[in-house]
Amino acid sequence: MCGTCGCSDGANIRLLTPEGAEPAQVSHHHGDHTHSHDDEGDRTVVLQEKVLARNDVLAQQNRDWLQARGVRAVNLMSSPGAGKTTLLERTATDLAGQLVISVIEGDQETALDADRMRRAGCRVVQVNTGTGCHLDAAMVSQALQSLDPPAGSVVVIENVGNLVCPALFDLGEAHRTVLASVAEGADKPVKYPHMFRTADLVLVSKTDLLPHLDFDLGRCTADIGRISPGAQVLPVSARTGDGCLKWYDWLLRP
């Protein structure tokens, strides 16, 4: 087992093509990890530098590949159920004719989200990670080759729902965006600081639920500002559309 994130070493991923063809089996290896234990017996996990270094090399290749084609990639991350797919559905519908959006969907199993995005008019590749809890640069490289996004378009990489491991892995994206649902509570930035520290943009989602929840938006925004001073914070509701225009402006910018 991968001690860093619980993924199985040598696990296979499934790549479902944009046309919805049968998924291909793609071998995938996380590489070597070492484990250590402190005096109290608690397990401390050390991810060897060469694992991330190898991923970073592949990520830079992805970044070069995208830049050469004039394609922007956004790594979209959140906990499960924060509303990534719902927001992307509305985005694709509202920006139809203005922006070509392709999507790499990362989930452990099923093509449910890929099917939703395909119905919204997007070209989609589904990556099923099996026991894996995040996407890595090698998976994204394979998905990009299958996706073949056009020049001037945006590729949104909807990462596996997880506020821990996805933050560690550069995928070759131009921007990192994190969704924080108001239903999760306002403390997520301080409890998962590394995820928010790497974000260019934080979308506080499901704001239509605010009247029904004890969620301190000011506290959440202030915490994000302390953890990631350069990150922009936008409250949004995919259900009502509140705040979405600012999200679209961010997505459309060169």
What are the pLDDT digits (tens) for 25-64?
Answer: 554 444 443 434 444 444 334 555 677 889 999 999 999 9
For 60, phi then psi, to 5°, come to -65, -35
| CATH number for the segment(s) 12-252 | 3.40.50.300
What stretches in the chain show pLDDT beneath 70? 1-13, 20-49
Rounded to two decimals, the pTM is 0.87
- The whole-number pLDDT of residue 23 equals 52
Distance CA 180, CA 195 (A): 11
- The whole-number pLDDT of residue 37 equals 41
- The whole-number pLDDT of residue 254 equals 80
Local structure of residue 214 (DSSP, 8 states): -
- The whole-number pLDDT of residue 12 equals 53
Dihedral over alpha carbons 222, 224, 227, 232 (to 10 degrees): -110
- The whole-number pLDDT of residue 19 equals 72
- The whole-number pLDDT of residue 22 equals 56
Spacing of C-alpha 169 from chain mean position: 10
- The whole-number pLDDT of residue 7 equals 56
